[in-house]
Amino acid sequence: MPEPEQQFSITHARADTWRVLVLHGEIDLDTAPRLITAFTRAAGRREPLAIDLCDAHARDATHTALLVNAVRWLHQRRRDVVIVCPPGPARTALEQTAVALHLVLLEDARELYGRDIEPDRRRLETIAHSDRVQRGSTAPRRAALLAEATLTLEARHADPDLELDNVARAVMTSRRQLQRVFAEHTGAAFREELVAVRVQHAAVLLQTTELTVADIADRVGYRQAAHFANAFRRQYGMTPTGLRRARRNEGAAASAKNPPGPPR
């Protein structure tokens, strides 16, 4: 059986003025560090950037979540990044977690040709920060730690008492080292990352269940619904109820545009 390194690759391509990172193969805990390192380095490039996920797939739902978070980290550093992702599990996850709300999401890389490049006021600041990424032997280890820590957050985000020390112990590293890893690869502190993971899970529940906002807040680790609602609004620019209503309206509009055919 081929090793994971042989199953996964990242190649560089061009589409008009865009540099495109093309992902091929399976994303799992073994290959995720290469993905994270590539995204972190790509964030520092000074040319239009796109990520092509058409030939990439995650091993399972857990690793799909790892891909979604990696896309979010890249977007935090490069607000102008474009993601090419056809219909499928990865696109569904980006949409259901509401990460796609702030992304330019295309279905085909050919859509990049002739596409206008929108300026990003924070671009220079982003590049300056990204250029400080560590190189050499420590980079893969730190990326691996981030992947492991992210899976821990995904598994334990509902624990209202989850702290950085708990995650550091779970991935067998120090608190200080893990803080450095989050800052280096995500551009955020641990607490910000935990909030992001919690509200992503909340977004899925808002769109796929009829649970109340208070029940969802409890399920994703918040003791008080008001604190959850404030965190959600800061992340997505709308309330939890607003997201649920918007998605329902989109669904109703889509149904009206494509009504079911007559019964056979």
CA-closest candidate to residue 93, choices 56, 66, 55: 66
Give the pLDDT band (50/70/90) at residue 46.
Answer: confident
The pLDDT assigned to 262 comes to 61
126 has a pLDDT exceeding 60: no
Name all domains of the chain by residue range, CATH numbers in brackets.
4-130 (3.30.750.24), 144-251 (1.10.10.60)
Q: Alpha-carbon distance 67 to 255, whole Å?
A: 30
The pLDDT assigned to 254 comes to 65
CA-closest candidate to residue 63, choices 145, 4, 148, 157: 148
132 has a pLDDT exceeding 50: no
Beta bridge partners of 20: 13, 50
Q: Alpha-carbon distance 94 to 130, whole Å?
A: 24
Average pLDDT over residues 112-123: 59
Average pLDDT over residues 91-97: 97
Reported pTM: 0.86
Q: pLDDT above 70 covers what percent of the chain?
A: 84
The pLDDT assigned to 178 comes to 96
Q: Alpha-carbon distance 185 to 246, whole Å?
A: 32
Beta bridge partners of 56: 25
The pLDDT assigned to 138 comes to 80
Is residue 82 within 8 A of residue 49, CB to CB? The reply is yes
